[in-house]
Structure 1
Amino acid sequence: MPYPILGHMNPLLQFSQVLATRGCKITFLITEFNQKRMKGEIEHLEEHMKFVTLPDGLDPEDDRSDQSKVILSLRRTMPSKLHKLIQDINALECDKKITCIVVSKNIGWALEVGHELGIKGALLWPASATSFASFQSIPKLIHEGIIDPQTGLPTRKQEIQLLPNSAMMDTAKLPWCSLGKNFFLHMVEDTQSLKLGEWWLCNTTCDLEPGALAMGPRLLPIGPLMQTNTNKSSFWREDPTCLNWLDQYPPQSVVYVSFGSLAVIDPNQFKELAIGLDLLNRPFLWVVRPSNDHNKVKNAYPNEFHGSKGKIISWAPQKKILNHPSIACFITHCGWNSIIEGVCGGIPFLCWPFFSDQFINKSYICDVWKVGMGLDKDENGLISKGEIRKKVDQLLGNEEIKVRSLKLKELMVDNSAEEGQSSKNLKKFINWAKD
């Protein structure tokens, strides 16, 4: 049961397919709104799992990009419906009773529902283990006077290291700081509910985040999930034509640009990015999501933009792109799913974080693993076209970063091998879930 945004749904979808290939029967819960929006994509997945739906409590015209509104509506309307749904399924399906619930963050209350019904539960955290550790550390941060107990905002400017062997964090960029007071208070409550999960599963490895994973025995690294041999790993319709387009370019020659499913770029920044990509004088593949009715920002390509060396698509088969030999680097928002896919492809990163845990993730890429560089804003708060061109050239000329990127890829492959640590952890979880 994922929180109903793509960055949560896709990891749980990939995890479900892993479980299905190992003999587990999967019931996957999505909202009625998403079921209507993704009907065609869901049909391709129904041979692996059964899909069930519940309403999210919002009206059709409501803005579902307002995360505080979605979180509140789900908590208000869904627990009783989930309780009844599970009871109905277990009354009908004698040999397919629900015995374990796996949830993502923001819906810890679902573990409470399972607990009431005597059903064991686990969390699949869709972000980094370090970001999970930061939420678990909120009481300590309040006690030490580092953050305000009502807003979560820092009491003074400083950098902290929550855990040994982990990235330094600017307290002004802790994962909740850019998302408002209501989100912070929700996460304090949600984190308490998540303690009902007997396992906290993370799409990571001991090599990537040793400090965070030492936090406690319930944290179980099972990554990289994207190493599984599944054809369909996203709920959005992907444009496969870009793979044939990539085939025509030599190895390590194409710049790939994607900012995930939520980040919004303002019009001035969009223009700088477009012209910056033109100035690279090298091929680029750029994912530009179509605007929707609730998207307040309507971006237009500037007149100076030619795009003759590039290809622009609305959504990408990203796992395949990042494993394509022609990709040279990845300009990314630093969402955790994208990072895992990039690391598994051995691709160097140019980091452009927007909010939440993306700033911590950037610190890992640039300061801990040293497989990428950051993009710096100018005096107007924009990442300029000149900065984009300069950093791409610097990154692609840095052989040490390329070597480290390939080494990190090797470590990820080793973890997913049959005797790798993540594979052993996955078996441990499945044996527990089936018991």
Structure 2
Amino acid sequence: MAATAKSLQIVMFPWLAFGHMIPYFELAKRIAQKGHRISFISTPRNIQRLPKIPPSLSSLMNFVSLTLPRQDNLPQDAEATNDLPIHKIPYLKIAYDNLQDSLAEYLQKSTPDWIIYDAMPYWLPPITAKLGIPSVFFSIFQAWTICYGGPSSSAMINGKDPRTKPQDFTVPPKWVSFDTRVAYRLYEAKKFFGHFEMNDSGVTDIVRVGTVMAGCDVIAVRSCMEIESEWIYLVGELHGKPVLPIGLLPPTAHDSRDANEDSTWLTISEWLGKRKRKTVIYVAFGSELNLSQNELTELALGLELSGLPFFWALRNRDETIVLPDGFEERVKGRGVVWTSWAPQLRILAHESVGAFLTHCGFSSITESLYFGHPLVLLPFSMDQGLIARVFAEKKAGIEIARNEEDGAYTRKSVAEALKLVIVEEEGRIYREKAKELGVLFADEELHDQYVHKFVEFLQNHRQVSDQ
């Protein structure tokens, strides 16, 4: 049936965060490679900052630019979450919500076969239903995180969640019937509880997600059965609709993008090339996380205390938060603090790198395990705590010990975790398990098959509905 199925026209509409837009763009490329047309919708400035469409796919992929409506509380040119402090993000959600008329108009004119959308546009399911366009909710969050939200109709939308205080989130939910230690720590549960509370956008995050999941036809998850089959099945049970893993979207070839990247890489690779194989700790926390002064200080002094070589890609956007006095001088020759953009994939691919100290964003986890590096886990927000539990449970890495109440960690706990994973005999299990998982994460054929099955489902479903 798939061989004679027609080429699909698919619209993709991610939330305005690069941690969402990049996986959507990666999935778009993989669908286009199978001969289907993709219209990728975002705002003008985000489109400028996204990767370029590969020339081989330019006839099948295009960007559709929708102007973000003005919002009084948003700075000029703020079109993504990384343009804003966290307390301003609800205003970005208001502006995003105000895209609904221009999006509805575009959908009416373009009549796509499918729309693939994100967790925030709770207003979109009625529009797609009215226009007769089948829809996919593509979750960049894994099934274990989705399951924590509970059933969409009762727990997420109607406020009938039996969990009423942060402590209730420190154990697996009652609807999880299999054995697992994946749960929030108390300090994480307090933050997660905030998603149930009203914000300045006028709609809670949990209602947004629940309404999207209740209104879509299919749920797609950035995951695979080899990692979390029980959780994937549970999402289907909780929401009563097809759940399709689309694979891990492992990184594509890390070739250079421009001359500036090449000169940056030349400097970094020269430093890495002087270090012994598998000894360097790569440290990076994504582009949006701002550490507090105490968090930054303890992390820096922990790196120093470990005595190990490190490359720290530090992108703290708050200029009032500074490194400890004399730190860079004391670690000179052993450690580098790199404060501009760094080519993460190229660094991870270098043979001198031995472990990744990460905030546990799933893209970073995927990239690290793609190269078989063990993880030193230091989660900070949203789903990162659950991701840390999963990979600690799989023995692919170790979490830095923290205070249960407030999440504080010390230089000693940082240094101990680093030394364990990199040099100590006790840490061999993490090095071996990460290498084992690396085989799965780097299996391009396996992950391509997941995309293939996903597209085949979309084709078959569309054909049935057209008959």
TM-score by length of 1: 0.83
Offset at residue 104 of structure 1 (A): 2.0
Identify the residue that residue 298 of structure 2 maps to in structure 1: 272
Give the direction of change, closer, same or farther, for the CA distance of 1:209–1:81 in structure 2 (3 Å limit).
Answer: same
Correspondences of 1:372-411 after superposition (within 5 Å)? 372-377=397-402, 382-396=408-422, 397=424, 398-411=427-440
- Whether the aligned pair in 2 keeps the contact of 1:17 and 1:230 (CA below 8 Å) is no
Aligned position for 1:78: 99
Equivalent position of 2:62 in the other structure: 50
| Separation of aligned partners in 2, 1:287 and 1:146 | 42
Q: Which residue of 1 aligns with 2:34?
A: 22
Distance 1:371 1:180, change over 3 A: same
Q: Flag the 1:13–1:182 CA change in 2: closer, same or farther, 3 A.
A: same
When you count helix as a share of all residues, which structure comes out higher?
A: 2
2:369 matches 1:355: no
Structure 1 counterpart of 2:144, which letter? T
- Counterpart amino acid of residue 312 in structure 2: W
In the TM superposition, residue 413 of structure 1 has moved relative to its aligned partner by 3.8
Residue correspondence of structure 1 range 61-140 to structure 2 within 5 A: 61=76, 64-65=84-85, 66-75=88-97, 77-88=98-109, 90=110, 98-137=112-151, 139-140=154-155
1:331 alignment partner, SS class: strand
Matched, 1:366 2:392: yes
SS at match of 1:225: coil
Residues 265 and 433 of structure 1, relative CA distance in 2, 3 Å threshold: farther
Which residue of structure 2 aligns with residue 185 of structure 1? 204
**Unaligned segments of structure 1, at least 5 residues:** 91-96
Following superposition, the deviation at residue 7 of structure 1 comes to 0.8
Normalising by structure 2, report the TM-score: 0.77
**C-alpha deviation, 1:431, in angstroms:** 3.2
Check whether the contact 2:149–2:155 (CA below 8 A) recurs between aligned residues: no
* d(CA) in 2 for partners of 1:147, 1:140: 9
Q: Which residue of 2 aligns with 1:225?
A: 249
Aligned residues: 412
How far apart are the structure 1 equivalents of 2:161 and 2:385? 22
Runs of 4+ in structure 1 over 4 Å off: 41-46, 140-145, 155-158, 227-233, 378-381, 418-421, 432-435
* Cα shift at 1:277: 2.1
% of aligned pairs identical?
Answer: 22
Aligned to 1:298: 320
Partner secondary structure for residue 295 of structure 2? helix
Deviation at 1:336, TM superposition (A): 1.8
